[in-house]
């Protein structure tokens, strides 16, 4: 028998070397070993085959050889990614075991194991597994939801048998396959059938061993009590009827939710005492059945262990008020190892190698375990016999994906999960997906034909909105069928089919591919049926005509293309389950679509601006100090949205690091759950929760990354293209209140400039010099400044479109386009003379010049260039448009900003950017409390005020109050006692005249509150300090980003929401019980300066970022007259000052 195994190992490795070329070491393709399989695989095989051996090991019946053959195939062949190579290897192995090649083909294609649930266990083909005693739903944070029916197709059942066999032999299982092939579903289904609690941990590049194994964390009563209640519920439901005690269990859960820890501890103690008494009585009387003796003994041990944890939790909760109390909190993996849960490590190949190496001991078969030296342990953790570990990963063929290190991978039993294309299996899959409410007519054959054709065409010619190959998987098909199933009762089967397959297969494609796909859907799935174009309101169940629109929505113009995008969005809202990714060029209205639909449907809209330094903590939360100085975990904005059912938009998704995004995979797929490592809690989303994301196409826009196919496949993708020209006219009419004739001329100017750009390459960038955002800004100006003629329209167009250009010939192109289309004459030399003379008259009559002279700006020479720049910036200020000044150094950019801020009477805050600038530099961050001595002094003052109070002295009882803030605990306790005496004396008066007057009591309460506030401030270790941008937004000040181009584009993108007309900012970094959403003060104004790209360290901003500013070119002063004026003014001023000083000294 050993000779068979050894021969199989040698032949398999020889085959792999010939057909595959070895196995990469550590995920590197440049170094490989000649043996794909090692001695560890041979030992696994020997263990499996030993169960088939009898007394005579030389002769095996044909049935035994066939069973042994399948064990060899599972170990050596099932991990092959190529089905062709896998079948070849299976035939090779069949030859070793004296079996015909036809048997290998039967096992590969036709074999379908029987899966049958019996009273004592589950039969999966050749494997029998016992069913667990405990229900899986006893654990609050282990999600066991698998709403979609499991399709009993041949490939899935064969894989289920392989996994069951690995579970039987206590092997670690690794499932490898493309996204959407059902890897996680297989493990979840088996766990559900066997009633096993399954913990799913989503790994990423930011995963740490602390997340899996545990670590020292601030003692938080919520974490302590939540973990204790989970264990209590499991033991309680084993001991008593859950249905009969539902009121008690609900009361326990309410105490956890409301944070009533003392009451919770009392309830748990009372429950334990009752249980302990009952079990002891049964033990003494021997009343429990003999066949359940072991069950009751295990139950007794469980309750005894719980009593120890309860006592420890009571002590920890009592000490959790201390500011720096820490305790070791075990991670989810350690808890599962102790308790016998199953663990699934999803996206395991994204985790850092050192994290995987730390848990490698668990992968060593039956007795695999590890030690926790972090906690001071010397002995290894006892591994529960029911513990099993699984892992899933995508092949290392995509962005951000890598192979597992060889030392880790060969500890797993690996199975490859193929994408399904077999017609018979697809038939079963479709029918079982629609099993709950199958319509009277479901075109199963047509759906199979459509899916196979789509897979074929997507590899040949179709492209998505980013001009990449689209990714269609079984997840896409299952979601389309799920939508069809839910929408059929309301819209009919044909309409539901059309909507569902358009939503999953068409909306992600570019224009030509989308037309082909729609033709496929109508021709193959909906042939002969008239498909209606439903309004988006019918999916969302809202009546836009009669319902009151939210504030700000009245200016939102719904054009035909916007209606189409809203229709696509509304389908996703109808199913309320899948995340949505909107991709398109800048200023195409991606975020506005979601915001409008959220307002119409009555959902709260929350937005997160991603950037290069986006951290997972911004999504999930982080530890902060509360008002008492205690470290507490503050949940992040994403967790709040998940719990409360907000609509959240992850803006500029592909700016964030890929590892941060991959950590959200579990929330994005059909399981919809979010695991928080710090709390060791899995959050199930509120039914109204929806997640949206927006991004610009990668490569075309600076700092944008290519997202992996697996990650994108979790979204419903919608391509949002540029707004058509005829709709731009309609938007200008309705939003900017511009007559149709002038709106039409504005759009013609845009088209003309785009044509010139394409023909002569005058303007850089694919989207040209002018975008819809520029057009709307132009229209808003015309209305705001009460334009009445084409001349006014042309002037504003020139200010916006031409004054940003750096070459005179390019300005001439814009000027000619404006003159030809608007039928006006623009004289550049005269543009600013009239405005400048009016401005000078106003200034000389005011006190502004006196202010400038007093502040040291008397040397400023108001040349024509200076007046031009001043006028252009002031015009932006009137509309509160963000300004970007571009020009060579010493051109006066910063000086003009300072001048204008002084004249307008506003404070100017300046931040000098550099290549290491981070978002915290302008938003703010947590800093240590530095003025603790002042706080202590304030505390002493409040104590003195209370001591001098006549009312306090009468009721104090002669006890002295300490002025030392270190002894504040006992001092405050005594003051509270005295205050209660005063209140009681006031209440006992019953309206009669008393020595305790109401006003005196109120004054005393205020003094005590001030004292408590001072103590809380002194206890606080860290406090949030607003950055210059946040301060400016709150106080209505001006904010200048100097040398903005030196900072990374992806960092600056964090300001996107501030640069848009809404001028708002969500401070996810700050945390807090209430999410802080800032809306800028009406006087707030943001400016930026930069040098042109080309010099050392200088670069241009990304098109998306530049387009959010009103850009102004600041040329060098080259006019001789202006240079002469500057020289004369400077020399004359110096001469006057010289004679003045001479006169003073002579006198």
Answer positive or negative: Cα dihedral of 125, 131, 137, 141. Answer: negative
Cα(1070)–Cα(926) distance, integer angstroms: 8
715 touches 578 (CB < 8 A): yes
Question: Quick count: other Cβ atoms within 10 Å of Cβ 455?
Answer: 14
- Name the token pair of 536: 């988006």
Residue 581: per-residue pLDDT: 94
Cα(175)–Cα(169) distance, integer angstroms: 17
296 touches 279 (CB < 8 A): yes
Backbone angles phi, psi at 23, to 5 degrees: -125, 125
**Which position has the token pair 């504003």?**
796
According to DSSP, residue 1093 is labeled: B
Residue 764: per-residue pLDDT: 47
**Residue of 446, 510, 519 whose CA lies nearest to 480:** 446
42 touches 6 (CB < 8 A): yes
Domain 419-532 class in CATH? mainly alpha
Which residue ranges make up each domain of the chain? Answer: 1-19+35-110, 115-133+146-208+332-416, 220-326, 419-532, 725-828, 833-927+1026-1116, 930-985+996-1019, 1120-1146
- Name the token pair of 489: 């009762």
Beta bridge partners of 216: 328
Residue 291: per-residue pLDDT: 54
Residue 717: per-residue pLDDT: 92
- Mean pLDDT computed over 705-728: 86
Distances (CA, A) of 1079 to 268, 469, 1057: 47, 41, 10
Backbone angles phi, psi at 1140, to 5 degrees: -65, -45
Cα(71)–Cα(979) distance, integer angstroms: 78
More confident residue, 1004 or 294: 1004
Query: Is a pLDDT exceeding 70 seen at residue 2?
Result: no
Ranking 372-376, 579-583, 870-874, 1135-1139 by mean pLDDT, the lowest is: 1135-1139
**Residue of 113, 263, 204, 199 whose CA lies nearest to 671:** 199
- Name the token pair of 98: 């004296």
What is the SS3 string spanning 201-230? EECCCCCCHHHHHEEEEECCHHHHHHHHHH
CA angle 347, 350, 356 (to 5 degrees): 95
Residue 27: per-residue pLDDT: 41
Which CATH code of 3.40.50.920, 3.30.420.40, 3.40.50.300, 3.30.200.20 fits the domain covering 115-133+146-208+332-416? 3.40.50.300
Cα(549)–Cα(555) distance, integer angstroms: 10
More confident residue, 360 or 230: 360
The number of angstroms, rounded, from the C-alpha of 524 to the middle of its chain's C-alpha atoms is 37
To 10 degrees, what angle do helices 62-76 and 39-50 make?
Answer: 150
Question: Quick count: other Cβ atoms within 10 Å of Cβ 592?
Answer: 17
Cα(391)–Cα(540) distance, integer angstroms: 39
Residue 824: per-residue pLDDT: 92
Residue 135: per-residue pLDDT: 45
Query: Is a pLDDT exceeding 70 seen at residue 629?
Result: no
Task: Report pLDDT digits (tens) over 636-669.
Answer: 889 999 999 999 999 988 888 877 888 888 898 8
Residue 851: per-residue pLDDT: 54
In whole numbers, what is the pLDDT of the chain averaged over residues? 81
Confidence band of 286 (pLDDT split at 50, 70, 90)? low
Query: Is a pLDDT exceeding 70 seen at residue 604?
Result: yes
Cα(192)–Cα(784) distance, integer angstroms: 64
To 10 degrees, what angle do helices 62-76 and 154-168 make?
Answer: 90
Confidence band of 284 (pLDDT split at 50, 70, 90)? low
According to DSSP, residue 1095 is labeled: B
- Mean pLDDT computed over 3-15: 68
Confidence band of 694 (pLDDT split at 50, 70, 90)? very high
Residue 1093: per-residue pLDDT: 81
Which CATH code of 3.40.190.10, 1.40.20.10, 3.40.50.2000, 3.40.50.300 fits the domain covering 833-927+1026-1116? 3.40.50.300
Q: Give the residue ranges of DSSP H helices in 555-670.
A: 560-575, 590-601, 616-620, 637-644, 658-662, 665-668
Per-position DSSP letters for 304-335, written without gaps between them: HHHHHHHHHHHHHHHHTTSTT-EEEEE-HHHH
Residues in CB range of 658: below 8 A, 6 or more apart = 205, 399, 400, 705, 707, 708, 711
Task: Report pLDDT digits (tens) over 77-105.
Answer: 898 888 888 898 898 888 888 889 999 99
More confident residue, 1 or 1054: 1054
Per-position DSSP letters for 531-570, written without gaps between them: PP---HHHHHT--TTTSPPPTTGGG----HHHHHHHHHHH
Residue 761: per-residue pLDDT: 41
Cα(152)–Cα(35) distance, integer angstroms: 35
Residue 162: per-residue pLDDT: 95
Residue 136: per-residue pLDDT: 39
Highest mean pLDDT pick, 41-55, 1047-1061, 1074-1088, 1109-1123: 1074-1088
**Residue of 185, 186, 184, 143 whose CA lies nearest to 161:** 186
Residue 32: per-residue pLDDT: 39
Residue 742: per-residue pLDDT: 93
Confidence band of 20 (pLDDT split at 50, 70, 90)? low
Residues in CB range of 902: below 8 A, 6 or more apart = 848, 851, 852, 855, 857, 908
Residue 138: per-residue pLDDT: 38
**Residue of 261, 265, 253, 340 whose CA lies nearest to 307:** 265
Residue 144: per-residue pLDDT: 44
- Mean pLDDT computed over 391-415: 85
Ranking 209-213, 413-417, 1114-1118 by mean pLDDT, the lowest is: 1114-1118
Residues in CB range of 122: below 8 A, 6 or more apart = 115, 116, 128, 129, 130, 131, 164, 193, 194
Do 833-927+1026-1116 and 419-532 fall under one CATH topology? no
> Given phi > 0 = left and psi -120 to 50 = alpha, else beta, which region is 914?
beta
601 touches 547 (CB < 8 A): no
More confident residue, 102 or 10: 102
Confidence band of 766 (pLDDT split at 50, 70, 90)? very low
Task: Report pLDDT digits (tens) over 289-306.
Answer: 555 555 666 677 778 878
Query: Is a pLDDT exceeding 60 seen at residue 591?
Result: yes
Per-position DSSP letters for 630-642, written without gaps between them: -EEEEE-HHHHHH
- Mean pLDDT computed over 725-746: 90
Query: Is a pLDDT exceeding 70 seen at residue 29?
Result: no
Residue 614: per-residue pLDDT: 81
Residues in CB range of 1067: below 8 A, 6 or more apart = 923, 924, 1030, 1075, 1076, 1077, 1078
In the chain, what's the furthest Cα-to-Cα distance? 129
Query: Is a pLDDT exceeding 50 seen at residue 243?
Result: yes
Query: Is a pLDDT exceeding 70 seen at residue 528?
Result: no
Residue 140: per-residue pLDDT: 36
**Exposure of 890 by Cβ count < 10 A (0-12 exposed, 13-18 middle, 19+ buried)?**
exposed
572 touches 692 (CB < 8 A): no
Task: Report pLDDT digits (tens) over 965-995.
Answer: 888 888 888 888 888 888 888 777 655 545 6
Residue 33: per-residue pLDDT: 39
Beta bridge partners of 924: 1026
Beta bridge partners of 1090: 886
- Mean pLDDT computed over 1113-1136: 72
**Residue of 879, 798, 876, 864 whose CA lies nearest to 834:** 864
The proportion of the chain whose per-residue pLDDT surpasses 90, expressed as a percent, equals 21
Beta bridge partners of 343: 199, 389
E strands, 171-291, where?
A: 173-177, 198-202, 214-218
**Residue of 414, 492, 540, 496 whose CA lies nearest to 86:** 414
770 touches 753 (CB < 8 A): yes
Residue 565: per-residue pLDDT: 92
Q: What is the dihedral of CA 702, 704, 706, 709, to 10 degrees?
A: -150
Residue 335: per-residue pLDDT: 87
**Residue of 527, 506, 524, 504 whose CA lies nearest to 515:** 506
Task: Quote the pTM value.
Answer: 0.76
Cα(412)–Cα(41) distance, integer angstroms: 9
Ranking 48-57, 833-842, 891-900 by mean pLDDT, the lowest is: 833-842
Cα(974)–Cα(992) distance, integer angstroms: 28
Query: Is a pLDDT exceeding 60 seen at residue 26?
Result: no
Task: Report pLDDT digits (tens) over 131-152.
Answer: 876 543 334 333 444 456 677 8
Distances (CA, A) of 195 to 117, 175, 576: 12, 21, 28
Cα(535)–Cα(531) distance, integer angstroms: 13
E strands, 860-931, where?
A: 883-887, 908-912, 924-928
Residue 54: per-residue pLDDT: 62
Residue 139: per-residue pLDDT: 41
């Amino acid at each position: 028998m050993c000779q068979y195994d050894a021969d199989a190992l040698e032949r398999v490795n020889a085959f792999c070397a010939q057909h595959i070329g070895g196995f990469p070491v550590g995920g590197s393709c440049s170094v490989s070993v000649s043996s794909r399989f090692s001695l560890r695989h041979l030992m696994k095989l020997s263990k499996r085959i030993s169960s088939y051996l009898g007394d005579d090991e030389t002769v095996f019946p044909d049935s035994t050889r066939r069973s042994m053959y399948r064990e060899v195939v599972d170990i050596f062949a099932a991990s092959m990614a190529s089905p062709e190579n896998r079948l070849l290897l299976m035939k090779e192995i069949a030859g070793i075991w004296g079996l015909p090649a036809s048997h290998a083909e039967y096992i590969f294609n036709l074999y379908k194991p029987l899966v049958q649930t019996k009273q004592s266990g589950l039969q999966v083909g050749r494997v029998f597994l016992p069913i667990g005693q405990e229900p899986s739903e006893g654990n609050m944070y282990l999600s066991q939801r698998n709403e979609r029916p499991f399709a009993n197709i041949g490939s899935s059942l064969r894989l289920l048998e392989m996994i069951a066999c690995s579970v039987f032999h206590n092997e670690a299982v690794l499932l490898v396959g493309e996204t959407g092939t059902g890897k996680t579903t297989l493990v979840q289904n088996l766990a559900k059938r066997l009633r096993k609690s399954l913990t799913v941990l989503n790994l990423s590049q930011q995963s740490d061993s602390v997340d899996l194994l545990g670590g020292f964390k601030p003692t938080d009563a919520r974490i302590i009590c939540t973990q204790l209640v989970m264990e209590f519920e499991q033991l309680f439901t084993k001991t008593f009827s859950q249905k009969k005690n539902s009121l008690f269990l609900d009361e326990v859960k309410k105490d956890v939710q409301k944070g009533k820890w003392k009451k919770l501890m009392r309830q748990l103690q009372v429950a334990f005492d009752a249980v302990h008494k009952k079990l002891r009585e049964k033990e003494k009387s021997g009343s429990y059945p003999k066949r359940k003796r072991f069950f009751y003994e295990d139950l007794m041990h469980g309750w005894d262990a719980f009593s120890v944890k309860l006592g420890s939790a009571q002590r920890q909760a009592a000490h959790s008020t201390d500011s720096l109390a820490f305790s070791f909190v075990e991670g989810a993996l350690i808890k599962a190892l102790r308790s016998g849960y199953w663990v699934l490590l999803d996206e395991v190949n994204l985790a850092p190698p050192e994290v995987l190496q730390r848990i490698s001991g668990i992968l060593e078969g039956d007795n695999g375990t590890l030690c926790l030296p972090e906690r001071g342990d010397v002995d290894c953790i006892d591994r529960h016999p029911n513990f099993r570990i699984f892992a899933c990963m995508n092949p290392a063929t995509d962005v951000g994906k890598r192979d597992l290190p060889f030392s880790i991978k060969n500890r797993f039993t690996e199975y490859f999960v193929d994408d399904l294309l077999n017609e018979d299996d697809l038939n079963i899959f479709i029918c079982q997906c629609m099993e709950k409410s199958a319509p009277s007519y479901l075109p199963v054959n047509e759906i199979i034909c459509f899916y196979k054709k789509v897979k074929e065409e997507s590899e040949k010619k179709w492209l998505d909105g980013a001009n990449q190959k689209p990714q269609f998987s079984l997840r896409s098909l299952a979601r389309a069928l799920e939508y069809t199933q839910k929408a059929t009762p309301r819209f009919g089967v044909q309409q539901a089919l059309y909507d569902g397959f358009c939503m999953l297969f068409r909306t992600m494609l570019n224009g030509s591919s989308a037309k082909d796909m729609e033709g496929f859907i109508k021709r193959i799935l909906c042939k002969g049926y008239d498909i209606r174009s439903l309004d988006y309101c019918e999916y969302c169940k809202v009546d836009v005509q009669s319902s009151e629109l939210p504030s700000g929505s009245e200016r939102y113009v719904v054009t035909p293309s916007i209606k189409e995008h809203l229709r696509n969005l509304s389908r996703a809202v109808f199913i309320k389950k899948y995340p949505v990714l909107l991709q398109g060029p800048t200023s195409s209205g991606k975020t506005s679509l979601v915001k409008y639909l959220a307002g119409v449907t009555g959902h709260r809209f929350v937005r997160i601006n991603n950037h290069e330094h986006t951290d997972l903590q911004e999504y999930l939360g982080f530890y902060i100090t509360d008002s008492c100085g205690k470290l507490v975990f503050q949940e992040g904005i994403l967790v709040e949205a998940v719990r409360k059912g907000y609509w959240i938009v992850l803006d500029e998704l592909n700016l964030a690091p890929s590892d941060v995004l991959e950590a959200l995979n579990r929330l994005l797929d059909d399981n919809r759950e979010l695991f928080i490592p710090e709390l060791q809690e899995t959050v199930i989303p509120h039914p109204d929760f929806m997640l949206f994301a927006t991004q610009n196409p990668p490569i075309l826009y600076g700092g944008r990354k290519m997202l992996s196919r697996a990650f994108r496949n979790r979204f419903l993708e919608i391509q949002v293209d540029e707004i058509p020209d005829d709709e731009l006219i309609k938007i200008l009419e309705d939003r900017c209140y511009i007559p149709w004739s002038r709106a039409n001329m504005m759009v013609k100017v845009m088209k003309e400039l785009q044509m010139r750009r394409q023909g002569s390459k005058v303007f850089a960038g694919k989207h040209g010099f002018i975008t819809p955002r520029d057009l709307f800004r132009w229209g808003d100006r015309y209305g705001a400044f009460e334009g009445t003629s084409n001349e006014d329209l042309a002037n504003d167009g020139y200010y916006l479109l031409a004054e940003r250009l750096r070459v005179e010939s390019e300005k001439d192109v814009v000027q000619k386009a404006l003159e030809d289309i608007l039928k006006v004459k623009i004289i550049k030399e005269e543009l600013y003379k009239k405005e400048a003379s009016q401005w000078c008259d106003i200034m000389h009559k005011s006190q502004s010049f006196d202010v400038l002279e007093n502040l040291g700006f008397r040397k400023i020479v108001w040349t024509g260039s200076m007046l031009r720049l001043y006028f252009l910036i002031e015009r932006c200020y009137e509309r509160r448009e963000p300004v970007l000044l571009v020009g060579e150094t010493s051109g006066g950019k910063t000086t003009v900003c300072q001048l204008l801020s002084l004249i307008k009477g506003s404070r100017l805050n300046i931040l000098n950017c550099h290549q290491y600038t981070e978002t915290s530099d302008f938003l703010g961050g947590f800093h240590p409390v530095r003025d603790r001595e002042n706080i202590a002094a304030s505390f002493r003052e409040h104590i003195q005020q209370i001591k001098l109070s006549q009312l306090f002295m009468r009721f104090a009882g002669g006890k002295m109050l300490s002025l030392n803030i270190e002894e504040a605990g006992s001092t405050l306790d005594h003051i509270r006692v005295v205050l209660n005496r005063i209140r009681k004396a006031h209440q006992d008066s019953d309206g009669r005249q008393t020595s305790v007057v109401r006003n005196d009591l109120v004054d005393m309460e205020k003094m005590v509150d001030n004292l408590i506030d001072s103590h809380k401030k002194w206890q606080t270790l860290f406090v949030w300090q607003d950055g210059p941008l946040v301060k400016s937004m709150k106080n209505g000040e001006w904010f200048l980003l100097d040398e903005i181009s030196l900072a990374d584009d992806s960092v600056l993108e964090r300001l996107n929401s501030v640069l848009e007309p809404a001028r708002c900012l969500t401070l996810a970094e700050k945390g807090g019980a209430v999410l802080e959403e800032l809306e800028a003060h009406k006087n707030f104004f943001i400016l930026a300066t930069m040098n042109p790209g080309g010099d050392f360290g200088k670069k241009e901003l990304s098109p998306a970022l530049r387009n959010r500013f009103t850009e102004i070119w600041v040329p060098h002063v080259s006019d001789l007259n202006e240079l002469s004026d500057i020289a004369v003014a400077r020399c004359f001023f110096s001469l006057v000052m010289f004679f003045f000083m001479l006169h003073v000294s002579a006198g």
